[in-house]
């Protein structure tokens, strides 16, 4: 890869202007590292709505129309329905654009290989954004685990409850493609949202060598199935074990500014534990991070940004700031080329392998070995 950092603001296009645009756009607003030159979506309504943010940007119904317009684009912020990721990204890399792609990368390893090959062939960067890695309480949790403060890590637990009430409005069109994904065996809880949980596991404790899973299927309405209850257990190459339980509580109200997802991460060490109480929603309205050692509980009420100052300009534990910081990291990276991409295409493939191992385990009832970093 012979990437040469840009010595000027990056010319960027948003491709896909749906629900998650509202959060991804935060990395672009008031950011001198970028000029938003184009907006792409087949929906005229979406184009008109989003152009209010970027009056100077040209709008197009497809990426191909933008590519043939003569407008110069350096990088695309790709916010397409997941099933369109592989073909869409291969096409855009072929136009010579760098790509910052929303997760999940794609549904299977063959598509992942096509995407990596297209990036390599065009000498372009494919990043699969992982905003959870920019969520300050999780960054602090990782630092605590690595510091030895709670002793040697014995294991950890992730919890996720999808609730039926609360949160922001999600248009039915955004659910429709998720239902199609579910029919392909890539459900919204384990694969779509779950991608983040699997990514945080790899980020916290490194490669995974073995996975056991029991993935459920729950009908919540005519033709609407969700992949709960589900339980996934794994062992990292370093011997640390993780367990993640996913449940659905359709009648539960959860206070959330975004999706109704109650999440926790709890790491147990030889001397204590550290727990992130919430992320997307506001289920436990306690300090976002608590650390127990030696009979004392320490709480973080307002995480500051001193250890993450290169990524952020203010300290808060709002989940949406993780999108802002992930986007800024990418746009800055295009200027400097320094540091990790968080994540690169190959790292995203490891998340995909982890998910596929969970599906294989659930289908077979067997324990499945994982070979991270192996050629596809
Ligand atoms: N990081 C997170 O926490 C998070 C949260 C939600 C969604 N996502 C991901 O973001 C992506 C988009 O999800 P969403 O909820 O915004 O979906 P959405 O359905 O609300 O938006 C998708 C948009 O893409 C447009 N589109 C469809 N085909 C297109 C094409 N060929 N070219 C350009 N635009 C096209 C649609 O018209 C729509 O406006 C998915 O990959 C999803 O998994 C990530």
Confidence of residue 338 (pLDDT cuts 50, 70, 90): confident
Is residue 77 in contact with ligand 1, taking CB distance under 6 Å? no
- CA of 19 relative to ligand 1 center, distance in Å: 7
For residue 296, tell me if it sits in a domain: yes
- So what's the pLDDT on residue 310? 29
Please say whether the beta carbons of 73 and 124 come within 8 A: no
Q: Is the pLDDT of residue 176 over 60?
A: yes
Please say whether the beta carbons of 164 and 262 come within 8 A: no
**CA–CA separation, 76 vs 153, rounded Å?**
39
- CA of 169 relative to ligand 1 center, distance in Å: 14
Q: Is the pLDDT of residue 374 over 80?
A: no
Q: Is 337 helix (H, G, I), strand (E, B) or coil?
A: coil
Average pLDDT over residues 124-134: 96
Average pLDDT over residues 198-216: 98
pLDDT in tens, 20-37: 999 999 999 999 999 999
Is residue 194 in contact with ligand 1, taking CB distance under 6 Å? no
For residue 373, tell me if it sits in a domain: no
Q: Which of 111-120, 285-294, 300-309 has the highest mean pLDDT?
A: 111-120
The answer to whether residues 162 and 292 belong to one domain is: yes
Strand partners, 214: 231
Q: Is the pLDDT of residue 373 over 80?
A: no
The answer to whether residues 126 and 158 belong to one domain is: no
Longest dimension (CA), the chain: 65
pLDDT in tens, 42-60: 999 999 999 999 999 999 9
**Mean per-residue pLDDT over the chain, rounded:** 93
Q: Is 10 helix (H, G, I), strand (E, B) or coil?
A: strand
Average pLDDT over residues 197-210: 98
The answer to whether residues 66 and 154 belong to one domain is: no
For residue 302, tell me if it sits in a domain: yes
The answer to whether residues 136 and 277 belong to one domain is: yes
The answer to whether residues 179 and 270 belong to one domain is: yes
Please say whether the beta carbons of 137 and 366 come within 8 A: no
Please say whether the beta carbons of 151 and 274 come within 8 A: no
Average pLDDT over residues 82-88: 98
- CA of 348 relative to ligand 1 center, distance in Å: 18
The answer to whether residues 277 and 216 belong to one domain is: yes
The larger pLDDT score, comparing residue 333 to residue 372, is at: 333
For residue 260, tell me if it sits in a domain: yes
User: How many domains are there within the chain?
Assistant: 2
For residue 112, tell me if it sits in a domain: yes
Q: Which of 14, 15, 16 to mutate to test the pocket of ligand 1 (most atoms within 8 A of CB)?
A: 16
Share of the chain above pLDDT 90, in %: 86
Confidence of residue 304 (pLDDT cuts 50, 70, 90): very low
Task: Report in angstroms the alpha-carbon separations of 59 from 28, 47, 144.
Answer: 17, 7, 45
Strand partners, 267: 156, 274
The CATH number for 121's domain is 3.40.50.720
Which residues span the domain enclosing 291? 132-317+352-364
The CATH number for 153's domain is 3.30.360.10
DSSP 24-72: HGGGTTT-TTEEEEEEE-S-HHHHHHHHTT-TTSEEESSHHHHHTTT--
CA angle, 352 then 355 then 360, to 5°: 120
The answer to whether residues 180 and 305 belong to one domain is: yes
DSSP 190: I
Is residue 173 in contact with ligand 1, taking CB distance under 6 Å? yes
Average pLDDT over residues 78-82: 98
> For the chain, what percentages of helix, strand and coil (3-state, to nearest 5) are there?
35, 25, 40
For residue 372, tell me if it sits in a domain: no
- What is the distance in angstroms between the CA of the first residue and the CA of the last residue of the chain? 19
The answer to whether residues 65 and 136 belong to one domain is: no
The answer to whether residues 40 and 67 belong to one domain is: yes
Confidence of residue 318 (pLDDT cuts 50, 70, 90): low
- So what's the pLDDT on residue 307? 22
**CA–CA separation, 236 vs 359, rounded Å?**
18
The answer to whether residues 169 and 36 belong to one domain is: no
Q: Which of 2-11, 69-78, 335-344 has the highest mean pLDDT?
A: 69-78
- So what's the pLDDT on residue 305? 29
The answer to whether residues 192 and 226 belong to one domain is: yes
Is residue 62 in contact with ligand 1, taking CB distance under 6 Å? yes
- So what's the pLDDT on residue 301? 87
> 241-253 and 153-165 as β-strands: parallel, antiparallel, unpaired?
parallel
Is residue 131 in contact with ligand 1, taking CB distance under 6 Å? yes
For residue 170, tell me if it sits in a domain: yes
Q: Is the pLDDT of residue 348 over 80?
A: yes
pTM of the model: 0.95
For residue 289, tell me if it sits in a domain: yes
Strand partners, 264: 159
pLDDT in tens, 234-257: 999 999 999 999 999 999 999 998
Average pLDDT over residues 121-147: 96
**Of all atoms in ligand 1, which is nearest to the CA of residue 176?**
19
CA angle, 131 then 350 then 355, to 5°: 85
**CA–CA separation, 190 vs 246, rounded Å?**
8
Close Cβ partners of 190 (under 8 Å, ≥ 6 residues apart) = 215, 227, 230, 232, 246, 355, 358
Strand partners, 225: 219
Indicate which residue's Cα is closest to atom 17 of ligand 1. Answer: 174
DSSP 253-287: E---SS--EEEEEEEEESSEEEEE--SSS-SS-S-
Rg, Å, the chain Cα set: 20
pLDDT in tens, 91-101: 999 999 999 99
Is residue 20 in contact with ligand 1, taking CB distance under 6 Å? yes
Confidence of residue 1 (pLDDT cuts 50, 70, 90): low
- What counts of helices (H) and strands (E) characterise the chain? 10, 17
Is residue 68 in contact with ligand 1, taking CB distance under 6 Å? no
- CA of 52 relative to ligand 1 center, distance in Å: 19
The answer to whether residues 88 and 70 belong to one domain is: yes
Please give the structure tokens belonging to residue 349.
């493939």
Confidence of residue 158 (pLDDT cuts 50, 70, 90): very high
């Amino acid at each position: 890869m012979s990437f040469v950092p840009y010595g000027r603001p990056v010319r960027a296009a948003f491709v896909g202007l749906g629900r998650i645009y509202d959060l991804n756009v935060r990395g672009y607003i008031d950011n001198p590292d970028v000029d938003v030159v184009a907006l792409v979506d087949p929906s005229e309504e979406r184009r008109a709505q989003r152009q209010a943010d970027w009056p100077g940007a040209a709008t197009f119904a497809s990426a191909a129309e933008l590519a043939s317009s003569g407008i110069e684009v350096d990088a695309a912020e790709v916010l397409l329905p997941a099933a369109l990721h592989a073909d869409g990204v291969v096409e855009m890399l072929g136009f010579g654009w760098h790509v910052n792609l929303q997760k999940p990368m794609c549904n299977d390893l063959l598509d992942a290989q096509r995407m990596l090959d297209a990036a390599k062939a065009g000498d372009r960067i494919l990043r699969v954004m992982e905003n959870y890695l920019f969520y300050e309480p999780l960054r602090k949790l990782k630092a605590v685990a690595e510091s030895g403060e709670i002793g040697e890590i014995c294991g950890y637990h992730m919890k996720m409850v999808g609730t039926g009430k609360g949160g922001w409005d999600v248009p039915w069109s955004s659910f429709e493609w998720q239902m199609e994904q579910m029919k392909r065996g890539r459900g919204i809880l384990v694969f779509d949202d779950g991608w983040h949980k699997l990514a945080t596991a790899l980020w916290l404790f490194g490669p995974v060598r073995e996975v056991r899973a029991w993935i459920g299927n729950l009908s919540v309405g005519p033709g609407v199935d969700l992949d709960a209850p589900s339980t996934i257990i794994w062992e990292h190459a370093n011997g640390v074990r993780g367990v993640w339980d996913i449940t659905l509580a359709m009648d539960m109200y959860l206070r959330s500014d975004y999706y109704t997802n109650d999440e926790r991460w709890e790491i147990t060490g030889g001397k204590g534990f550290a727990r992130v109480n919430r992320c997307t929603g506001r289920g436990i309205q306690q300090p976002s991070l608590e650390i127990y050692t030696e009979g004392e509980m320490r709480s973080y009420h307002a995480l500051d940004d001193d250890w993450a100052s290169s990524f952020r300009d203010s300290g808060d534990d709002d989940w949406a700031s993780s999108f802002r910081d992930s986007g800024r990291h990418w746009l800055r990276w295009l200027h400097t080329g320094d540091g990790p991409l968080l994540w690169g295409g190959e790292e995203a493939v490891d998340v995909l392998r982890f998910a596929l191992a969970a599906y294989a385990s659930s289908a077979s009832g067997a324990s499945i070995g994982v070979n991270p970093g192996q050629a596809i």
